[in-house]
Structure 1
Amino acid sequence: MIAELFRSQPEIALFASLAFGYLIGSFKIGPIQLGGVCGTLIVSLLLGQTGARLSPDLKNIAFALFIFALGFTGGPQFFANVGRGWRYGVLSIVEIVSVLTLVMIAVAVLHLDPGTAAGLLAGAATESAVIGTASEAVAKLGLPDADTVRLQANIVTAYSVSYLFGLITIVLFTSQFAALLLRVNLREEAERVWRKLGGGDSLGEGERLAAPALVGRAFRVGRAAGLSVGAFEAQYGHNLTIEEIERGGATLALAPGLVLAADDLVLVGGRREALIEAAPALGEEVASGHHFSTALADMVDVVLTRKDAHGATIRQLRERADPEQGRGIYIAAVTRLENRIPALPGTELNRGDVLTLVGAKADVLRGAKRLGYLLPATLKTDFVYLGLGVLVGMAIGRLSGTFGGVTLALGTGGGCLLSGLLFGWLRSFHPIVGSLPPAAAQILKDFGLATFIAAVGLSAGPDAIKLVHQYGLALPVAGILLVLVPGLLSLWIGRAFLKLDPPMLLGAIAGQQCSTPAISALVGVTGNSTPVIGYTITYALSNILLPLMGPVVVGLAAQFKG
């Protein structure tokens, strides 16, 4: 009866796959968490035994929206990192070359069909988008319908088997074993890098929240009497700002040339380290309950587009700014590809970063105009831009070519990925068009991918058990090797030749595998977020390059089998 219900109303199977899949994916054992996509795949494979099938059109639309949104959100960072992030980019190239080589060795040794080979790549590299690009490539091989369905099912099954073992391997490798091979203490190394970036004491995550980097305090002027406001702020590298001055009960109009007098009450905001250093020179701190308005009260998010800011550190950005123009503006957070990276003086900024500015309202708005554009608070999506982007992607996807006897076609997935990259990059130059709010982009990615995965999982259900019986332990072992070999190569190249600091290097290895659980576990081990700096660069590159490898693997494996 339940099977008949699923067959007659496949939308029930879809939402059951999403609900129970994300429930399973939410469970965590140590640092290991399957995630909603893998959970959805497992549930849909089980429900697929009932014969429930979703329309291929729904599957194609869901994947097109997911892959376009993926490219759109990553476009500015991808192009920013292609040039300046070359040292980390080398690691993404190591990943691509080594996994392609290993997959083709597996094809030769295990006699894998194109679908199983592509699924092995997708699972071991923990890159779900490969399923879509490879499935389209299989459909273009010109095989009978039954063979096409079987190979597409093999992609999903091979992915589900190798994903679990690949995930466990990359988490343990980056957070545990790599440090032993490098003979370093990761927490101490992360502390050293944090200090090198100008972060002062690197405390645990909870402790840093209790002692924020940006603070406001009130003082009664003592030793600083006789100094002008501008001269006092310059003494501390403009890392603090006198926000208000009260003299004899009256609030004074602030100006750089205004001279501080004994017993003035001043409200000072800025970086905690600068305030701690300046406190003895200022005078006695007064109760926090004084009637001053709150310092650093306003906060805005700004997308960085300014050319000369790309590649500069936060410290350099402040040094280059005119003191009056930069006065009272502080970067409280840097978000890159939806990940927070340390907003420290030595942190290098990239075009497309989202900077959280804090300060007085007039100051942060002035800073936003000079650095880029305000991240709009609108919830509206520009469907003209979105629709045109997907159409352009579909047109690009129709292009194909033959290279060395191997026919390659991008398909809708590869085309929409490239189109998303282009449209996202163009919008960073012209922000008044093409609004796709982060929350909207995230739902397109999450729901689009989960729906696509559920659709292919339901269709693959009956063939899944056959493939597992056919290869047994070979796929799990291959999945582990596809993680370990690129990881070891990157560890050696990154340390011996690229001279990368261990926390950033291991973060980059997690990023080249597109593994969010790995970076989460690594941050927990290091005690601060320095590994995320390396992670975001390789994640941006591998997240784009790996899906494009789906058609390549299918083409090469088909040629080999032929």
Structure 2
Amino acid sequence: MIVELLKSQPEIALFLSLALGYLIGSFKFGPISLGGVCGTLIVALVLGQTGARIAPDLKNIAFALFIFALGFTGGPQFFANVLRGWRYGLLSVVEIVSVMTLVMIAVVTMKLDPGTAAGLLAGAATESAVIGTASEAVSKLGLASAQVTQLQSNIATAYSVSYLFGLITIVLFTSQIAPLILRINLRDESARLARKLGGDGVLDEGERLALPPLVGRAFLVGPAAGTVVSAFEARFGNNVTIERVLRGGKQLEVDAQFVLAAGDTVFIAGRREAMIEASSAFGEEVSGESFARVLAQRTDVLVTRRDINGITLAQMRERAEPQAGRGIYVAALTRSDTTVPALPGTVVQRGDVLTLVGAPTDVARGAKRLGYVIQQTQKTDFVYLGLGVLVGMAIGRLGATIGGVTLVLGTGGGCLLSGLLFGWLRSHFPVVGSLPSAAAQVLKDFGLATFIAAVGLSAGPDAIRLVREYGLALPAAGILLVVIPGFLSLWIGRMFLKLEAPMLLGAIAGQQCSTPAISALVGVAGNSIPVIGYTITYALSNILLPLMGPVVVGLAAKFG
């Protein structure tokens, strides 16, 4: 009865795969969890034995939305990192070249078909999007429909087998094995690097400082009487700002040329460490009730200015005119939806989101100088979204035959490139193309999960056959496809690129597109310094690896 119900109403199988898959994927074994996508695929493979099938149109639409949103959100960072972050970006190239070479060796030695080869790539590189681009490439090989279905089933099965072993390997390699090879204490190295970048320490995700870094206090003016505000603030590195003055019962606006007088009550805001030092220049501290209505604004700004790209936060403050940077503080830095430590030595890139804090007029001035304010809207520009997907479908029809190997981008590859272009355009012309981050995340999560569930349901009957055929060969290949590129990147990163160990290990996790690996690495490091290296290679590999799906299929069809 249940089998007939699932066959007659496949939407039940779809949502059951999503629910149970994400439940299974949420379980953690130490730092390792399967994740919702892999969990969904495993459940769908099991339910696929019942014969439940999802219409191909739904599968294709879901993947098109996912891959476009992936490119859209990654566009600004991708183009910013192509040249500027070349040292880290080179590691993504190492990943692509070495993984593709190893996959082709496996194709020749193990006689892999195009589907199994693509699934091995997707699983070992822990990049689920490869499943979609490769599946479409298989449908373009000109084979009979039964052969196409079987090869697409092999992609899903090979992915599910190699993903688990690839995930465990990259987590252990970055957080445990690599530090032993480098002969370092990762926690000590991360703490040293945090101090070098200008911080006393960097928090793990979910932690908050008991003493906030930005504070406001009120004082009676004592020894500072007769001092010009700009001179006073400069004494403390412009890390404090006198926002308001109460004189004769009236609140006065303050500018850089304002002169403090004895008996004034001042409201001063800034960084806590500078505030402690500056407090000795005043007299008695008071409650500051008169300043209760002084507002501090918190605004997210997307960095678009070319002259800011590639400089540190400290350099950005130094190069700003004193009046232009007055009263503006960077509270956080976000890159590719990942929070990066906002330390004085942290390098800013175009496409980063800086969270500015200060008086509304100061924040508005800073936002205008840096880029544009990200409006907190819940509306999606469906004209822009629809046009972007249509352009992607048009690009996907392009193809070429090189050395007897037919390469076709397909809808997946086309929508990925279109998403990159439309995301980049949005960052430069923000008046159009609103796609809130929450909406983009839903498109990515639901689109990919729906596509994966549909693939798993179709692959169900062939899954057991493929596992029996290759046995332990696929898990072993999956481990080698992680370890060998990891060792290469570790060697090149230390010997030639001279990268700091915590950032290098983060970059290796990023080139593998592994969120569990960076989470485990941050836990061992004791702070989030490795995230700085992770974001660059993640942005690049997340775009480049899906484009390799059609390449693997084409090469395996010729040489497999």
Query: Which AA in structure 2 matches 1:116?
Result: T
Q: Report the Cα offset of residue 214 of structure 1.
A: 1.7
Q: Tell me the distance in 1 between the aligned counterparts of 2:190 and 2:424.
A: 32
1:538-553 matched pairs, under 5 angstroms: 538-553=537-552
Q: Is the 8 A contact 1:268 1:295 kept in 2?
A: no
After TM superposition, give the deviation of residue 277 of structure 1 in Å: 2.8
- What SS does the corresponding residue of 1:158 show, helix, strand or coil? helix
CA distance in 2, matches of 1:115, 1:79: 31
Q: Distance in 2 between matches of 1:203 and 1:100?
A: 37
Retained in 2: the 8 A contact 1:216–1:295? no
Matched, 1:560 2:527: no
The residue aligned with 1:297 is 296
- State the AA in 2 paired with 1:180: L
- Conserved? CA contact 2:204–2:528, under 8 Å: no
Residue 32 of structure 2 corresponds to residue 45 of structure 1: no
Distance 1:71 1:355 in 2: 21
What TM-score, normalized to structure 1? 0.97
Q: Give distance in 2, aligned partners of 1:204 and 1:261.
A: 44
Residue 244 of structure 1, CA deviation: 1.8
Gaps of 5+ in 2: none
- Give the aligned partner of residue 156 of structure 1: 156
Q: How far apart, CA to CA, are the structure 1 residues paired with 2:35 and 2:206?
A: 25
Give the 3 Å change call, closer, same or farther, for CA 294–176 of structure 1 in structure 2.
Answer: farther
CA separation in 1, counterparts of 2:421 and 2:518?
Answer: 27
Q: TM-score, normalised by structure 2?
A: 0.97
Tell me the SS of whatever aligns to 1:381.
coil
Matches of 1:44 and 1:35, distance apart in 2: 14
What is the deviation of 1:296?
6.6
CA contact (8 A) 1:115 1:153 kept: yes
What does residue 71 of structure 1 align with?
71
- Write the distance in 1 (CA, Å) between the matches of 2:516 and 2:253: 52
Show the 5 A alignment for 1:9-408. 9-202=9-202, 208-287=208-287, 290-293=289-292, 297-408=296-407
**SS of the residue 2:345 aligns to:** coil
Opposite residue 341 of structure 2, the aligned amino acid is P
1: CA distance, partners of 2:535 / 2:204: 21
Instruction: Answer whether contact 2:204 2:523 (CA < 8 A) is retained.
Output: no
Q: For the Cα contact (< 8 Å) 2:201–2:527, is it kept in 1? A: no
Query: Do the aligned partners of 1:269 and 1:296 also contact (CA within 8 Å) in 2?
Result: no
What amino acid does structure 2 have at the position aligned with 1:474? A
The answer as to whether partners of 1:298 and 1:361 remain within 8 angstroms in 2 is: yes
Residue type matched to 2:484 in 1?
A: V
Instruction: Determine whether 1:505 maps to 2:500.
Output: no
User: Percent sequence identity over matched residues?
Assistant: 76
| 8 A contact 1:81–1:89 mirrored in 2 | yes
Deviations 1:329-356 (A, max 9, x none): 1111111110000111111111111111
Residue 387 of structure 1, CA deviation = 1.0
Measured in 2, the distance between the counterparts of 1:346 and 1:286 equals: 35
Shift of 1:425: 0.6
1:294 to 1:201, Cα distance in 2 relative to 1, 3 A: farther
Matches within 5 A, 1:515-526: 515-526=514-525
Q: Retained in 1: the 8 A contact 2:203–2:528? A: no
- The one-letter code sitting in structure 1 at the alignment partner of 2:398 is L
Q: Distance in 1 between the 2:371 and 2:381 partners?
A: 20
Cα distance per residue 1:13-37 (max 9 Å; x no partner): 1111111111111111110011111
In the TM superposition, residue 516 of structure 1 has moved relative to its aligned partner by 0.6
C-alpha distance after superposition, 1:104-146 (max 9, x if no partner): 1111221111111100000010000000000011111111111
1:222 shift after superposition: 3.1
For residue 318 of structure 1, report the CA deviation from its aligned partner: 1.4
Q: Is the 8 A contact 1:331 1:356 kept in 2?
A: yes
SS at match of 1:209: coil
SS in structure 1 of the partner of residue 346 of structure 2: coil
CA distance in 2, matches of 1:262, 1:361: 28
Going from structure 1 to structure 2, the CA distance change for 1:282 and 1:403 (only over 3 Å counts) comes to farther
Secondary structure of the residue that 2:224 maps to in structure 1? coil
- Give 3-state SS (helix, strand or coil) of 2:344's partner: coil
* Corresponding pairs, count: 560
Q: Are the aligned partners of 1:269 and 1:295 in contact in 2 as well (CA < 8 Å)?
A: no
Q: Secondary structure at the match of 2:291?
A: coil
The whole-number CA distance in structure 2 between the counterparts of 1:221 and 1:205 is 40
Residues 295 and 359 in structure 1, CA contact (< 8 A), matched pair in contact too: no
**One-letter identity of the residue aligned with 1:31:** P
